[in-house]
Chain A
Amino acid sequence: MRPDIESAARDNLSAVLNPPVGPDDLDLDADMAGTYGLTSLNKVLFLTEVCEATDVDLANFTEHDLAEMRTLRSVAEALTRHTNKVA
């Protein structure tokens, strides 16, 4: 997992959470829905934004992939696999 991707993932997840949680306070391995109340609407919004920030084409993912991404780590790792950006 690349540090710049992890940082973008933390930043963009923090942006959609309500009540807010700071990027550095997020646990990489926590269940995003259970722990942070991430709704499915917020999840796709978060993924859309983080893909844009990391220059990863959202079309790499399906609805099924999205459902499988339950932790911040799984999101960052999935993005790392598809990233086009040079660190």
Chain B
Amino acid sequence: MTDHSTINHIVSTVPISGRISFARLDGTWSIGLSELYEMAGRLARRLRARGIGPGDRIGILAANSLEWVLLDLAALRLKAETAGFEPGKFDPDDQLTERYGVTLLFTDRQTNASGTLPISEVRALAEEPDDLDAELLPPVTWAPRDVTTIKFTSGSTGTPKGLAATVGSIDSSLAAVQEIFEHKPGDDLFVFLPLSLLQQRYWIYSALAHGHDVTVSTYEAAYAALRRTRPTVVMGVPAFYETAKRQIETRLRRSGGTETLKQAAGRMFGDRVRYLWTGSAPAAATMLSFFTEAGLPIYEGYGLNETCIVTKNHPGASRAGSVGRVLRGKEVLVDEDGVISVRSDHPVGYGYEYAAPGDSERVFGPDGTVRTGDLGYVDEDGFLFIRGRADDVIVLDNGKKVVVRPIEESMRTSPAIAECVLFCPAQTDLVAVVSPATVPADRDAIASQLALTNASLAKDEQISRVVVSEAPFSIEGGLLTSQYKPKRKQILEAYRAEIHDSKEGIHAA
């Protein structure tokens, strides 16, 4: 057994402290982690009696729940793999179980597919007392290269690719995060993103290993649950915090000065927050500074599905504009074009599963090094700064390379601009398509921001024209991803005529 393996520790050791809570709209209930451990053991014995064992794959397609957690932990106790399927992205049909080699699929959706069980049956299996002569579970030991789970890339288009996550990568990430955040008894980590995302399960493993509390909620119940569960840490993403920020600002406006920023933020997040975690997508500097001023320190990090957490700001080392220092066990390599690759002591994997030929080779090196496609640099103190995607570099006909993200971010600092995407129709000058923050658009304010942004840029980087979209970009309109990121290609298609017509739009002075 690997002495420092968190996974091996949590499958073999009854936790001595900590509770897990489940917070839904209609209420919160909790059990001790020692009870959770016992229930997972009973469930594992029942699954074993059904023939589930090492190498088998348990599929889970359901909303966050106790049953989800029990299945995941039972699988670890049996050395079986899990495959977490996000509801809404996958359907519980025969095609799914066949394609992903699922031995038994548990779901909270209606289905007649073979090899499928309602997830509601899990609780009874886990609660039913063992017979006196019940067989003990054989001890299991996970090796660093063993795979515990298949996770799926969250690409906005195409069939999701699979990634077989190794125990070594999970152990390594958990240890590195624990080193910088020191989660301990008294902490309560709030999780609401789908448990099908492996990183959300990390916080349950962390609770089992370090004796702190963890609260599992759902996307829909997150805001309502926050104020009544009073967590110390919130595991969120930028869109979640942006929505909270807008609401806190509205409350402040409406309070007419009777409420302070800290009070309004505390009413939303509770009064015990030690820090807010954000990742998965770039966070706006205005959002980060807003929460810091509100007395809720927020720490941005960097990582992909393929690399797990690579860098993270934290209470001991945080720098504005950066995504933090490189975690132990990871190495950031920046090539001459500024493209970031990540080398790991324990890679998440060495390639994709269920992917088209060539997909893995484009991203993974033979040693598991991942070419991220992101552009960035590391400063003299070891903080990583992300400048954009390598795909988002525009090369002008004079050879000048323009990284568009900082320019787009500058435009977005105007309250009149919700989104800005740059294009280069003739390889000579830049044209922006702007999604207005108000209807009708405030064209004067957009023109002012255009002048302001251009004043801070070198000549080649300046925007020549701004095309203002008729309606704000939306997910329903097909111009934003489900993560609220602009879909560059679709925006180009929708505004191709205006982008290419030099008479269109607001012209730079």
Complex contact B25–A59 (CB within 8 A): yes
B25 near A66 with CB under 8 A, answer: yes
CA of A39 to CA of B243 in the docked complex: distance in angstroms?
10
A66 lies within 8 A of B220 (CB): yes
Given the known interface contacts A61-B25, A61-B26, the answer about A41 and B438 at a Cβ–Cβ threshold of 8 Å is no
Asked if B472 and A62 make an inter-chain contact with CB atoms under 8 angstroms apart, the answer reads no
* Given A19-B436, A63-B24, A63-B218: A45 and B247 interface contact (C-beta under 8 Å): yes
Whole-angstrom CA separation of A47 from B246 in the bound complex: 15
**Complex partner residue of B220 from A18, A49, A59, A63, CB under 8 angstroms:** A63
* 5 A-B pairs closest in CB distance: A15-B250, A48-B224, A63-B220, A41-B243, A19-B438
For A43, the chain B residues whose CB sits under 8 A away are 220
Closest to B477 in A: A37
Q: Is B25 in contact with A16, judged by CB distance below 8 angstroms?
A: no
Q: Select one of B227, B239, B476 contacting A41, CB under 8 A.
A: B239
A34 on interface, CB distance cutoff 8 Å: yes
Task: Please tell me if B100 contacts chain A, counting CB pairs below 8 Å.
Answer: no
Complex Cα gap A40–B63 (Å) = 15
Contact A15 B247 (CB under 8 A): yes
Interface residues as binary, A22-57 with B (CB distance below 8 Å gives 1, 0 otherwise):
000000000001100101111111011100000000
Please provide the chain B residues from 228 to 248 with a CB less than 8 Å away from any CB of chain A in the complex. 239-240, 243-244, 246-247
B220 and A19 within 8 A (CB): no
**B202 lies within 8 A of chain A by Cβ:** no
Per the 8 Å Cβ criterion, residues 378-410 of B in contact with A are none
Give A43 Cβ to nearest chain B Cβ, in Å.
8
Q: Which of B50-97 contact A (CB under 8 A)?
A: 63
Given contact pairs A45-B223, A45-B247, A63-B221, A37 touches B472 in the complex (Cβ within 8 A): yes
Q: Cβ of A41 and Cβ of B240 under 8 Å apart? A: yes
CB distance from B72 to the nearest CB of A (A): 21
Cα(A20)–Cα(B247), bound, Å: 12
On chain B, the residues within 8 Å of A16 by CB distance are: 243, 246-247, 250
B437 contacts A by Cβ under 8 Å: yes
Cβ contact within 8 Å between B243 and A62:
no
Pairwise interchain contact A62-B25, C-beta atoms closer than 8 A? yes
Q: Tell me if B222 counts as interface (CB < 8 A to partner A).
A: yes
Q: Are the C-beta atoms of B246 and A63 separated by less than 8 Å?
A: no
- Complex CA–CA separation, A20 to B416 (angstroms): 12
Contact of A18 among B25, B222, B244, B437 (CB under 8 A): B437
| A58 sits at the interface (CB 8 A) | yes
Bound: A40/B227 CA distance, A: 18
Residues of B in contact, count (CB < 8 Å): 30
B residues near A19, Cβ cutoff 8 Å = 418, 436-439, 472
By beta carbon, the residue of chain B nearest A17 is B246
> When each residue 25-65 of chain B gets 1 if its CB lies under 8 Å from chain A and 0 otherwise, what string results?
11100000000000000000000000000000000000100
Task: State the Cβ distance, B31 to closest chain A Cβ, in Å.
Answer: 20
Contact present for B243 and A37 (CB under 8 Å) = no
Residues of A near B360 (CB, < 8 A) are none
B377 CB to nearest A CB, Å = 33
Known: A16-B246, A41-B239. 8 other contacts (CB 8 A): A19-B437, A37-B472, A37-B476, A39-B243, A44-B223, A45-B247, A59-B27, A62-B26
Residue numbers in A under 8 Å from B474 (CB-CB) = 37
In the assembled complex, the CB of B223 is this many whole angstroms from the nearest CB of chain A, namely 5
B181: Cβ under 8 A from any A Cβ: no
A-B CB contact pairs (8 Å), 18 listed: A16-B246, A39-B239, A39-B243, A43-B220, A44-B25, A44-B223, A47-B224, A48-B223, A48-B224, A59-B25, A59-B27, A61-B25, A61-B26, A62-B26, A63-B24, A63-B25, A63-B218, A67-B220
| A35 → B minimal CB distance (Å) | 10
B254 to chain A, nearest CB (A): 8
Q: How far is the CA of A40 from the CA of B218 in the complex (A)?
A: 11
- Write the A49-82 contact mask toward B (1 if CB under 8 angstroms, else 0): 1000000001111110111000000000000000
The distance in angstroms between the C-alpha atoms of A18 and B474, with both chains bound, is 11
Interface: B495 (CB within 8 A): no
Specify the chain B residue showing the minimal Cβ separation from A65. B25
Q: Which of chain A's residues have a CB closer than 8 A to the CB of B354? A: none
What's the least CB distance linking B472 to chain A, in Å? 6
**Residues of A contacting B476 with CB < 8 Å?**
33-34, 37
- List A contacts of B418 (CB < 8 A): 18-19
What CA separation (Å) do A6 and B185 show in the bound complex? 45
Which residues from chain A contact B224 at a C-beta distance below 8 Å?
44, 47-48, 58
Contact bitstring B245-269, A, C-beta under 8 A = 1, else 0: 0110010001000000000000000
When distances are taken between beta carbons in the complex, the residues of chain B under 8 Å from A63 are: 24-25, 63, 218, 220-221
In the complex, A62 Cα to B472 Cα: how many Å?
31
Bound Cα distance from A44 to B227, whole angstroms: 13
Given A19-B438, A19-B472, verify A41-B221 contact (CB < 8 Å). no
Q: Report A22 CB to chain B, min CB distance, Å.
A: 12
Contacts of A42 in B (CB 8 A): 243
Residues on the B chain within 8 Å of A62, using CB: 24-26
The answer on a CB contact under 8 Å between A58 and B222 is: no
Nearest-Cβ distance from residue B501 to partner chain A, whole angstroms: 26
CA distance A62 to B227 in the complex (A): 17
Q: Is there an interface contact between B222 and A44, defined as CB atoms closer than 8 Å?
A: yes
- Asked if residues B246 and A18 are in contact (CB atoms below 8 Å), the reply is yes
A34, A39, A65 — most chain B CB neighbours (10 Å): A39
Q: Kindly state the separation between the CA atoms of A39 and B482 in the bound complex, as whole angstroms.
A: 10
Chain A residue with the shortest CB-CB distance to B226 = A48
